[in-house]
């Protein structure tokens, strides 16, 4: 049971065009998996997938099963963030975040379970430490990620109760150096004020935001949970947060 050996596995990674998803796709491939990456922003090696559209999930899963005959690993990394005070958050923005982060995770688990079936497999969702420790100014995001953690637990229990060898877990990082930050106005202001993204990350760390991880560091934990080394681990939320929630 070697966590570094995923030879022969077929993996689907959502959010695979950038950030944590791209890092997971690369690391899974390095360790021998045949990887299908999908994202709302497709590319030469990344299929198009709107994770809130069930018909697109059905089409992509069917394609993979035609081409590879199986799906052993599903890493659901696609997600969005938002930063606004709760009283200033529009209902449309609330729905956008919940639809992408929680509805998307539901569809990932639902169709991952169906595709894996009796042969089994591993589903790993990307949560967030903000789903455990609330983040002021990010109510929609924190709520969506708390829901992802409970979704994984209930799905894991259902698989166990039904005798399906499908494991469902969550990796929940704190701050990670990904392009998601660049779209946030407060982060853009910090970069302008301090002169670089690294300086902005250092500033947030100094103000209590915790040490920011590299995407590959999160991918290492994802690959562990996807491997046979974690074959007895299911329904678990693995915090990769440097103690941020403590």
Residues designated as active site: 141
Tell me the three state secondary structure of residue 14. strand
Q: Is the dihedral of CA 18, 19, 25, 27 positive or negative?
A: positive
Q: Which residues, listed in sequence order, are joined to residue 122 by a DSSP beta bridge? A: 73, 167
Q: What is the DSSP string of 142-159?
A: HHHHHHHHHHHHHHHHHH
**What are the b/e assignments for 7-22, b being 16+ CB within 10 Å?**
eebbbbbbbbbbbbbb
Selection from 21, 62, 52 nearest residue 171 by Cα: 21
Sign of the alpha-carbon torsion through 159, 28, 111, 129 = positive
């Amino acid at each position: 049971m070697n966590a570094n050996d995923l030879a022969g596995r077929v993996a689907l990674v959502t959010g695979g065009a950038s950030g944590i998803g791209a890092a997971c796709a690369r690391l899974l491939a390095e360790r021998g998996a045949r990887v299908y990456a999908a994202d709302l922003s497709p590319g030469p090696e990344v299929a198009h997938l709107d994770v809130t559209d069930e018909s697109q999930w059905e089409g992509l899963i069917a394609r993979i099963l035609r081409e590879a005959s199986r799906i052993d690993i599903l890493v659901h990394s696609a997600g969005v963030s938002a930063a606004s005070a709760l009283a200033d958050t529009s209902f449309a923005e609330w729905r956008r975040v919940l639809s992408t982060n929680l509805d998307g995770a539901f569809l990932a688990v639902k169709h991952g379970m169906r595709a894996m079936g009796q042969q089994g497999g591993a589903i790993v969702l990307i949560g967030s430490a903000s789903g455990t420790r609330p983040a002021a100014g990010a109510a929609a995001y924190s709520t969506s990620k708390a829901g992802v953690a409970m979704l994984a637990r209930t799905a894991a229990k259902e698989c166990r109760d039904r005798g399906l060898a499908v494991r469902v877990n969550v990796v929940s990082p704190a701050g990670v150096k990904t392009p998601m930050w660049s779209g946030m106005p407060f982060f853009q202001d910090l970069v302008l004020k301090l002169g670089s993204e690294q300086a902005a990350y250092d500033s947030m760390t100094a103000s209590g935001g915790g040490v920011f991880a590299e995407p590959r560091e999160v991918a290492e934990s994802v690959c562990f949970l996807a491997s046979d080394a974690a074959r007895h681990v299911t329904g678990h939320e693995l915090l990769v947060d440097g103690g941020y929630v403590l």
